[in-house]
């Protein structure tokens, strides 16, 4: 097990300012985040610019030694609402060109953040194999994803690598949360472009793998496949509930660990099993949503602190 701060946290999901920007509240939140000693850095949401509301504010509130994952899923989902053909794996040319332009904006944000901190601060950029195959008239393929990656991987990413964050693949039995490509297709697209300039791997999101099969063993299968294929970049824990009045039924709602929220399927046994397979990936962390929205700042911080300690305990016992 690594020593020292080494967990990435998708802290934006636990913020009271999600969808309702309040710089005063968010400044207090970030001041408290800067005090969390086990934090390696943040999984930071990318909507199209470095910060959706105020990039200068963001740069002035981060800790100088933090590292970052830049996740493109928020902006991807926003664009899919406007254009269901949008995506790097889209069979629709205009949808794929728009997705490439969006990722180009992410490249600019990486350079901006690194330049401000005077070092390589962005570890990985998380991309996704949109669009959703569950949308009428929409199609996608691994060949189109490979075509996109062949361009993206030749860009200068300022030292960051690329991670395809696997989301639940389309399943005709039930409505998908994302409905993107299968992990096998994503790995195949990586293989087709492995001679390109920028390193690229797969990041497994525990909850999104569970959603794909509605089975807590699915993340173990995905981790084993990615690791055995030599492309496992990271593991992020995000919870799921089979049925819950707050976090929903089989919803990509980032439920906490079961130690903090008993209805969550993300139990100590499940987390430890995933860690045992993952080994020591370059990226490890969690993203949980703090609900209900009426939770105080201290309650949100307590949830993050308890989650950090829980993951640390699971990691110690899984080795």
Domain-embedded: residue 2 = no
Q: What is the pLDDT of residues 69-109, one digit of tens each?
A: 999 999 999 999 999 999 999 999 999 999 999 999 999 99
Partners of 204 in beta bridges? 166, 235
pLDDT (average), residues 279-290? 96
Domain count, the chain: 1
pLDDT digits over 39-60, tens only? 999 999 999 999 999 999 999 9
Q: Which domain does 19 fall in, by range? A: 7-318
User: What is the C-alpha to C-alpha distance for residues 23 and 20, in angstroms, rounded to an integer?
Assistant: 10
Per-residue model confidence (pLDDT) at position 155: 98
Q: What angle do CA 81, 87, 91 make, to 5 degrees?
A: 115
Q: Phi first, then psi: what are they for 312, rounded to 5°?
A: -65, -40
Across all residues in the chain, what is the average pLDDT?
96
User: In this structure, is residue 195 part of a structural domain?
Assistant: yes
pLDDT for position 37: 87
pLDDT band at 17 (very low <50, low <70, confident <90, very high): confident
Inside any domain, residue 58: yes
Residue 20 has a pLDDT of: 85
Rounded CA separation 263/241 (Å): 6
What's residue 2's pLDDT? 53
pLDDT of res. 3: 53
Q: What angle do CA 283, 200, 128 make, to 5 degrees?
A: 85
Q: Could you report the per-residue pLDDT of 204-239, keeping only the tens digit for each? A: 999 999 999 999 999 999 999 999 999 999 999 999
Strand, coil or helix: what is 9? strand
In the predicted model, is pLDDT for residue 4 greater than 80?
no
The model's pTM is 0.96
Q: In this structure, is residue 145 part of a structural domain?
A: yes
Examine residue 33 and state whether it is found in any structural domain, yes or no.
yes
Please determine, for residue 164, whether its predicted confidence score (pLDDT) is greater than 70.
Answer: yes
Q: What is the mean pLDDT of residues 145-168?
A: 98
Does residue 1 lie within any of the structural domains? Answer: no
Is residue 110 predicted with pLDDT exceeding 90?
Answer: yes
Q: What is the domain-level CATH number for residue 112?
A: 3.20.20.150
Report the pLDDT value the prediction gives residue 1, as an integer from 0 to 100: 47
Condensed to tens digits (0 to 9), the pLDDT of residues 288-319 reads 999 999 999 999 999 999 999 999 999 988 76
> Is 307 within a domain?
yes
**Residue 190: its pLDDT value, please?**
96
Could you read off the pLDDT of 250-267 as tens digits, one per residue? 999 999 999 999 999 999
Rounded Cα–Cα distance for residues 8 and 233 (Å): 13
Question: Which residues are CB-neighbours of 277 under 8 A, at least 6 positions away?
Answer: 220, 223, 224, 227
Q: Is 44 helix (H, G, I), strand (E, B) or coil?
A: strand
Answer yes or no: is pLDDT of 5 > 90.
no
């Amino acid at each position: 097990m690594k020593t020292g701060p080494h967990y990435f946290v998708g802290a934006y999901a636990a913020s009271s300012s999600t969808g309702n920007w309040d710089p005063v509240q968010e400044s207090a939140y970030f001041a408290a985040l800067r005090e969390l000693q086990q934090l390696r850095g943040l999984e930071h949401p990318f909507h199209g610019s470095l910060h959706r509301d105020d990039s200068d504010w963001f740069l002035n509130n981060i800790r100088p030694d933090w590292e970052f994952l830049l996740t493109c899923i928020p902006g991807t989902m926003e664009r899919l609402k406007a254009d269901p053909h949008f995506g790097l794996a889209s069979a629709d040319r205009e949808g794929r060109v728009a997705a490439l332009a969006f990722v180009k904006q992410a490249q600019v944000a990486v350079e901006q953040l690194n330049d401000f901190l005077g070092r390589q601060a962005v570890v990985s950029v998380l991309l996704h194999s949109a669009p959703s195959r569950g949308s009428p008239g929409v199609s996608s393929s691994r060949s189109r994803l490979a075509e996109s990656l062949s361009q993206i991987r030749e860009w200068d990413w300022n030292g960051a690598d690329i991670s395809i964050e696997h989301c639940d693949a389309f399943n005709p039995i039930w409505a998908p949360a994302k409905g993107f490509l299968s992990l096998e297709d994503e790995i195949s697209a990586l293989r087709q472009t492995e001679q390109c300039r920028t390193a690229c791997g797969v990041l497994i999101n525990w909850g999104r793998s569970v959603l794909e099969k509605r089975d807590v063993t699915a993340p173990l299968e995905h981790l084993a496949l990615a690791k055995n294929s030599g492309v496992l970049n990271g593991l992020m824990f995000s919870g799921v509930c089979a049925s819950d009045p707050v976090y929903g039924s089989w919803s990509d709602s980032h439920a906490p660990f079961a130690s903090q929220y008993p209805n969550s399927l993300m139990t100590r046994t499940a987390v430890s099993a995933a860690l045992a397979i993952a080994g020591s990936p370059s990226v490890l962390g969690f993203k949980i949503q703090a609900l209900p929205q009426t939770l105080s700042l201290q309650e949100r911080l307590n949830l993050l602190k308890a989650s950090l300690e829980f993951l640390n305990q699971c990691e110690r016992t899984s080795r």
